[in-house]
Structure 1
Amino acid sequence: MKPFAFSELLAHMSLIRQPSAMACSLALPMGAALLSAAWLFLARAQETNEHGLAALLDGSGFVRIPAGEFMMGSRNGKPDEQPVHRVVISKGLEMGKFEVTQAQWEAVMRRAHARVAPGEAAEASAPSHFKGPSLPVENVSWHEVQQFLRMLNARDDRFEYRLPTEAEWEYACRAGSTGDYAGTLDAMAWYESNSGGQTRPVGRKEPNAWGLYDMHGNVWEWVQDWYAHDYGEERPAAGPASGSYKVYRGGGWFSSPADCRSAVRGFNFPIDRYDSVGFRLVRTPK
């Protein structure tokens, strides 16, 4: 587990208040150290609750995305973002508020590798380059995500968990917006100018209008669809039936502003792993 600096804890955990100058002057060194340790323990427990497996299974980690329609793509973007076309999302769905965290990945995948040697199991269930329970899981292939989904679905007989389609992802990212971003990029995204060269804990930036965090930046997010070089004149909402590459969306911690746009598309082989690519869940009733 990556050490969590107490200064970062104070800066980011809303339940912790900065002590007053008088309190600091009166505190004994030993008492301050014990208090700091207690705060750190509580903060880590809070992060585990918010971004752990329970938040998936009890539904608290999901938001409701309404049915509707939108214009998918960008007239001023890259060729594979065209033509702009109308897409109908005929049924509402629930989408993860956050990118899947390392705590969630490990909670599911350690069971998948329970019969593997301990060292190998730990490596398989903790694949991320940047370590931390509330950081997004990354360095996972599209196929490995499918294994995660199979394991997660086996634990819940009420809902089916899956990746969003490309159309569902862009619809949810836009949340009714029509521009390049769903808000102000610096307020919503970790990207090349502010990430410090690494992923950041999920949910620390502003959400979009539908309550989704980190749809721009932090890590690219695998989606269900195969990649096509353009949308075609009558692109179905489900995407092409086959292909060589899988799509990911949203930009990552190293991305330029242009590559964090709502319409931008990335793609690669489904067996490939990158420290800038993770994923987000959708769930629907079984």
Structure 2
Amino acid sequence: MIKDWMTSIPKGEICLRDDRKKTTWNATIEPFLMSKYLITQEIYSEVMLTNPSISRGIQKPVENVSWFDAIKFCNALSESSGLNKYYHVNVENESVEIIQGANGYRLPTDAEWEYSCRALSESVQYGVIEDIAWYERNANGTTHEVGLKQSNEFGLFDMLGNVWEWCWDLYDPDVYGSYRIFRGGGWSDDSRGCLASNRRRSHPTYAIDDLGFRVARS
């Protein structure tokens, strides 16, 4: 199933901004594959043989997963798909390194995520918020099945709202150490929280009921 979910994202460039640090920078995006949908509880359970989610439903996004959980899922999905693991995980100190040349599943980078979310649009919301996202005003306090709202121009669903999404990148190691970035807003956020430009961070062991992920491949 996951193979059928992957869609091609074209090469491009994006200017990113961090409002806290008051910095901007440009990133070149090489062509890659991104999953159209958030990883569901059904797929996560099939691969990991467990479901940590608080709001249960097989087609709802898996949530209450840490960054480390997402990394381990990527490796397990790669192995079950006959691909090379993308990450080397050191269990003793919980460090993670990219395996050069690997063709397996991985988390999108911060730049890839925003580029994919905007889908070549200059807008921070790729459509009318009611039509594209489950958020505070329409979610009724819970997650919803993936793919029910309108996709963006790249054919990606739930890039805004439903659950936040872990990315690969460290946020600011000089200040926050090992904290990783997550993006997109969730069901408990207002419209201003569901923007392509919003960036949050937390410890890689952090897990909560409005935080999940989707996968990418180089």
Using the size of structure 1 for normalisation, the TM-score is 0.66
1:69 Cα offset (Å): 0.6
* Equivalent in the alignment of 1:131: 56
Deviation digits for residues 160-208 of structure 1 (CA, Å, limit 9, x no counterpart): 1000000000010010011221222111000001101000000000000
For 2:165 and 2:27, the matched residues in 1 are separated by 20
1:209 Cα offset (Å): 0.5
For 2:75, give the aligned amino acid.
Answer: R
Q: Secondary structure at the match of 2:70?
A: helix
Q: Secondary structure at the match of 2:152?
A: coil
For 1:87, give the aligned amino acid.
Answer: A
* Equivalent in the alignment of 1:271: 205
- Give the 5 Å matches for 1:1-286: 55-56=1-2, 59-73=3-17, 78-80=19-21, 82-89=22-29, 91-110=30-49, 125-158=50-83, 159-228=103-172, 243-284=177-218
Using the size of structure 2 for normalisation, the TM-score is 0.86
Structure 2: segments with no counterpart, 5+ residues:
84-102
Q: Secondary structure at the match of 1:150?
A: helix
1:228 Cα offset (Å): 2.0
- % identical aligned pairs: 39
For 1:197 and 1:73, the matched residues in 2 are separated by 30
For 1:73 and 1:261, the matched residues in 2 are separated by 12
Larger proportion of helix: 1
For 2:124 and 2:34, the matched residues in 1 are separated by 21
For 1:186 and 1:83, the matched residues in 2 are separated by 31
Q: What is the count of residue pairs matched by the alignment? A: 198
Q: Secondary structure at the match of 1:154?
A: helix
Structure 1: segments with no counterpart, 5+ residues:
1-54, 111-124, 230-239
For 1:132, give the aligned amino acid.
Answer: G
For 2:27, give the aligned amino acid.
Answer: V
Larger Rg: 1
Larger proportion of strand: 2
1:277 Cα offset (Å): 0.2
For 1:104 and 1:127, the matched residues in 2 are separated by 12
For 2:191 and 2:24, the matched residues in 1 are separated by 20
For 1:127, give the aligned amino acid.
Answer: P
1:153 Cα offset (Å): 1.3
8 Å CA contact retained: 2:170, 2:181: yes
1:72 Cα offset (Å): 1.7
Q: Secondary structure at the match of 1:161?
A: coil
For 2:193 and 2:24, the matched residues in 1 are separated by 18
For 2:37, give the aligned amino acid.
Answer: F
For 2:163, give the aligned amino acid.
Answer: V
